Amino acid sequence: MERSYYQEYFFFEQDNWWFVSRRHILFSVLRKALRGRRDLHLLDAGCGTGINLDYLAEFGQVTGADFADEAIDFCRRRGRGDVRQVDLRRMDGWADGEFDVVTALDVIEHIDDDRAVVRELVRVAKPGGLILVTVPAFPQLWSEHDEINHHQRRYRAQEIRALLTGAGCELLRTTYLNTFLFPLAWGVRTWQQFRDRLAGPRDHPPRTDFVDYHPVVNGLLTAVFTAETPLVTTIGLPFGLSYLALARKRV
């Protein structure tokens, strides 16, 4: 991710519709899977500016891990001292099977060797422990937002499932997210790609999708995205802008 972009994340994560809705959905999935447990040891791999560490603390003792200096600095600004600076492809500081729950929330798409990252996520999880992964979906939706975030790829569902099962996991829940807004996003991306082909080489740096929306618009988008929660936690959704996989490390 662009170094200057950490400040924007730090600003947007608290109230922006995408972050708020995603947190609501992800923690609904975890609460259902963990069934009231409060005594767990959790790792948030690729914790970024650290906002999810506060929420994960609901389930027990949580540790963060990130490679970027800026991420560590922002975590400390949040008062989180339980963060280590590590390369997620080689988390040598932790032994096999240290964590009950490992999360990588929109992380592995940033790293060249995603197989190595997933192997490490599974390695540091206890046998029977949970691994929760989210990634951007559909390569066809590639945009400037992916570029400014230094994404290596967007994923197809079968690719994430194969990464987790190949690393020694059984899949508990797989589903797309951000489905209700998908037709709108698909239309916007298609138009942008058509426009860019006509315009030729871009004459500006890549731009982010995150905008400081008017509170009414932000609230409406939050309501639409959050409304997916009952479907995500039960039957799942057949397409969307993101993909979620909850897996268990085989015993």
What value does the mean pLDDT take over residues 202-211?
Answer: 65
Contacts of 73 (CB under 8 A, 6+ apart): none
pLDDT band at 203 (very low <50, low <70, confident <90, very high): low
Q: CA triplet 185, 188, 192: central angle to 5 degrees?
A: 135
Number of separate domains in the chain: 1
* pLDDT tens-digit map of 220-242: 999 999 999 999 999 999 999 99
In degrees to the nearest 10, what's the CA dihedral of 181, 187, 190, 195? -120
User: What's the rounded Cα separation, in Å, for the pair 168 and 153?
Assistant: 23
pLDDT band at 7 (very low <50, low <70, confident <90, very high): confident
Question: Looking at residue 198, which CATH number applies to its domain?
Answer: 3.40.50.150
* pLDDT tens-digit map of 31-50: 999 999 999 999 999 999 99
What value does the mean pLDDT take over residues 15-29?
Answer: 96
Q: Which domain holds residue 40?
A: 5-249
